[in-house]
Structure 1
Amino acid sequence: MNVELILLALAPVFVLCIGIEAWYWRRRRPGMYSLKDTISNATLALMHQGADKLAWLLIVPFYAWLYDHHRIYTMPAGWVGFVLLFIVQDFLYYVFHRASHRIRWLWAAHVVHHSSERLNLSTAFRQSLMYPVAGMWLFWTPMALIGFTPIQIVGVVLLNLAFQFFVHTQAIPKLGWLEYVLNTPSIHRAHHARNPRYIDRNYAGVLVIWDRMFGSYVEESDAEPCEYGIVDQIHTHNPITLTFHEWRAMAHDVVTMPGWRNKWMALFGPPEWRHARETAPMPEGKTT
């Protein structure tokens, strides 16, 4: 696939950019990079890529079946088709990304990406091999139904993710009017922050217009510097622990919580539901 070849060619560019950024911060802020953190990010990336390639072997034929037998339209070729492809996928990425923060089953995979207390270009590599299990691929199925081929779907998803590599940096300040249109490093820094002001904001892939339209946008504030990581911070660089710690906690809650509603919420409620339940006052007449 041509897009995959492009991304393969970009891999040295990504590594070079990480090297340049690490050199840039070496004297300015030496703690910006950590060898253990960077190696952990790289290992998680390799694990993710392996799982992703296996998943595509099953998912692409499914997209092809939807496209061949159930599409409602055939999208035009050329620039018009590409613009439509780009806009539709970017909107669906926004939906996926927002759901990944608000549904615990999806968050169990996505939390890996947010688990570092640093934010640098290598953080973009910090991904989970559990995305196919969580169901990320389901969010692209509407594209096959409305008439985009599997090659187009996979290609535009990869291009969207390639763009997002470059927003994982603290070296670039706000970018003026571009902040109204594109996802920028400043916008994405706020997304990665665990300060209450920034939690569950700025889900943009490429276009930030979706955040502005649907009320999830917040501006990075100099008065409240971003603190990176997750609320329940996990202090480890072990890729296996980082990958499965939330799945393990979720399984424990499903087994131990009483009642089917609680079990359902432990799986598909918002990630903070567990804490809200633990701190809620007991109903009158009830005891623990």
Structure 2
Amino acid sequence: MNLVTLAIPFFLLAVLVELALDRRYGWGLYRLNDAIGSLSAGILSRITGLIRKGLLLVIYIPLFELLQPYYQAMGFNWSLDNGWHLLLAVAAYDFCYYWKHRFAHEINIFWADHLVHHQSEDYNLTTALRQPSGGLPIGWIFYMPLLLIGMPAELLITAGAIDLIYQFWVHTQKFPKVRWMEWILVTPSNHRVHHAQNKVYVDRNYGGVFIIWDRLFGTYQEELEGEPCIYGVRKPLNSFDPLAANLQHYKRMALDAWHTRSWWDKLTLWFRRTGYRPADAETAMPVPSSDLADFQRYDPQISSGQRYYALAQHVVYSGATLVLIWAAAQLNYGQLVAAVTLLGTGLIINGRILDGHRLARVAELARLGVLLAAAPLLPAALGLGIGTYAVLSALTWWRLAFADKGATVAIVSD
């Protein structure tokens, strides 16, 4: 089990602590729908990772073995037990991550995947867990230079996990600017800049652990006292559905390729600079940007009962995800795919419930009907538990979606 998986319970605990403090002191950092949207994207990313394999190690390990004579001649002898070696490995990995991250902001096809992490219009620890479910599988290219310094795969994996875990804590608004840290490390202050859509902040501060790469390569921007961060993306998602989050920019590029008459643009717009749109496609299908002078966060009106229902379902999905991750090794691939499909469908429908989408009412009953029908096929205890859950959820949802005309929740503006 890798370090990131082991860290998940601590991530969730930290989210609960920040949420409790937010409620205690009235900071206004959390909204239920946005937090569930971010966490759902994170869950979808983790569970789809169980049924897809990354290419990095598949390519890296054979090349590492092939280069053994070169490593012996150069005297490379990395050790995971050596603290200095681990620190150097994290620095080297983070240098490669900087360029991968920078390209993710600057090239359309890479942004389509990374965009998911930036869609949240709130900024709290749930934003750190908002991750994509896998785009064009070429991110491994950026880590190939580590072969030149003889870094073994186990050290690469550990350095990558440390890099990712470190990035969790910087997604908070309540940690102040610490001047000396801003020169060396990625901090909450300079990472808030990275997530802001203000013109002065866009496409800045790409480092994962070290901010020195941004200072060296001209992409550093300090958080300004007179320019509060406005979080999210200029072309808002306006949905809490994690599937829609992952498809947002791919869909837009596909439509642009369909509408443009230029074959050159049809073929190349995917790899052009982020934001590029053929003129005729933009005319045929304009996509307005957020008005930052009068910015309003996406917060649709649904009944309070439906909000709490969505929260309860999200708790169930979170628990099921942890069980699935820990039990994945005992399941065959078909069972994994079935479990991921059922969980993923639930996350998507739950997002649409929070959107107030008209089809969510029937879709949720259909999902619960499928679970109830599948319950007899499972081991007795598991089948009884899932069947009971499906019946109770269906009765509750029928009451909330088709019978209850309770109060709605007002739109929040910022």
Q: Which residue of 2 aligns with 1:12?
A: 9
Q: Give identity over the alignment, percent.
A: 35
| Comparing 145-154 and 15-24, the one that deviates more | 145-154
1:28 Cα deviation from its structure 2 partner: 3.6
* SS of 2:88 mapped into structure 1: helix
Contact kept in structure 2, 1:112 and 1:242, CA below 8 Å = yes
| Comparing 227-236 and 151-160, the one that deviates more | 151-160
Structure 2 vs 1, CA of residues 275 and 125 (structure 1 numbering), >3 Å: closer, same or farther? farther
The alignment of Structure 1 onto Structure 2 pairs a total of residues equal to 276
Q: Which residue of 2 aligns with 1:90?
A: 94
Aligned pairs (5 A) from 1:271-286: 271-274=274-277
- Structure 1 unaligned runs (5+)? 281-288
For 1:49 and 1:97, locate their aligned partners in 2 and report how far apart those are by CA, in whole Å.
20
Contact kept in structure 2, 1:121 and 1:169, CA below 8 Å = yes
Residues 9-43 of structure 1, C-alpha deviation per residue, up to 9 Å, x if partnerless? 32222111111111111154453112222222222
Contact kept in structure 1, 2:54 and 2:137, CA below 8 Å = no
Structure 2 vs 1, CA of residues 107 and 58 (structure 1 numbering), >3 Å: closer, same or farther? closer
The RMSD of aligned alpha carbons is 2.2
Structure 2 vs 1, CA of residues 29 and 268 (structure 1 numbering), >3 Å: closer, same or farther? farther
* SS of 2:253 mapped into structure 1: helix
Contact kept in structure 2, 1:265 and 1:273, CA below 8 Å = no
Contact kept in structure 2, 1:67 and 1:147, CA below 8 Å = yes
For 2:15 and 2:259, locate their aligned partners in 1 and report how far apart those are by CA, in whole Å.
43
| 1:106 and 2:119 matched | no
Structure 2 vs 1, CA of residues 177 and 124 (structure 1 numbering), >3 Å: closer, same or farther? same
1:259 Cα deviation from its structure 2 partner: 2.9
Letter in 1 for 2:21: Y
| 1:69 and 2:72 matched | no
Letter in 1 for 2:227: E
For 1:114 and 1:22, locate their aligned partners in 2 and report how far apart those are by CA, in whole Å.
20
Letter in 2 for 1:235: N
| 1:26 and 2:23 matched | yes
Q: Which residue of 102, 123, 127 maps to 1:123?
A: 127
* SS of 2:167 mapped into structure 1: helix
Aligned pairs (5 A) from 1:186-225: 186-225=189-228
Residues 169-214 of structure 1, C-alpha deviation per residue, up to 9 Å, x if partnerless? 0010101211100000000000000000000001010000000000
Structure 2 vs 1, CA of residues 70 and 263 (structure 1 numbering), >3 Å: closer, same or farther? farther
For 1:206 and 1:94, locate their aligned partners in 2 and report how far apart those are by CA, in whole Å.
9
- Structure 2 unaligned runs (5+)? 284-414
Structure possessing the higher radius of gyration over alpha carbons: 2
Q: Which residue of 1 aligns with 2:183?
A: 180
For 1:59 and 1:50, locate their aligned partners in 2 and report how far apart those are by CA, in whole Å.
19
For 1:255 and 1:155, locate their aligned partners in 2 and report how far apart those are by CA, in whole Å.
43
For 1:186 and 1:57, locate their aligned partners in 2 and report how far apart those are by CA, in whole Å.
32
Letter in 1 for 2:34: D
For 2:33 and 2:220, locate their aligned partners in 1 and report how far apart those are by CA, in whole Å.
32
1:164 Cα deviation from its structure 2 partner: 0.2
Contact kept in structure 2, 1:75 and 1:146, CA below 8 Å = no
1:145 Cα deviation from its structure 2 partner: 4.5
Bigger relative contact order, structure 1 or 2, given CA contacts below 8 A and separation 6+?
Answer: 1
Structure 2 vs 1, CA of residues 51 and 205 (structure 1 numbering), >3 Å: closer, same or farther? same
Structure 2 vs 1, CA of residues 257 and 279 (structure 1 numbering), >3 Å: closer, same or farther? closer
TM-score, length-scaled by structure 1? 0.88
Contact kept in structure 1, 2:256 and 2:281, CA below 8 Å = no
Structure 2 vs 1, CA of residues 276 and 220 (structure 1 numbering), >3 Å: closer, same or farther? farther
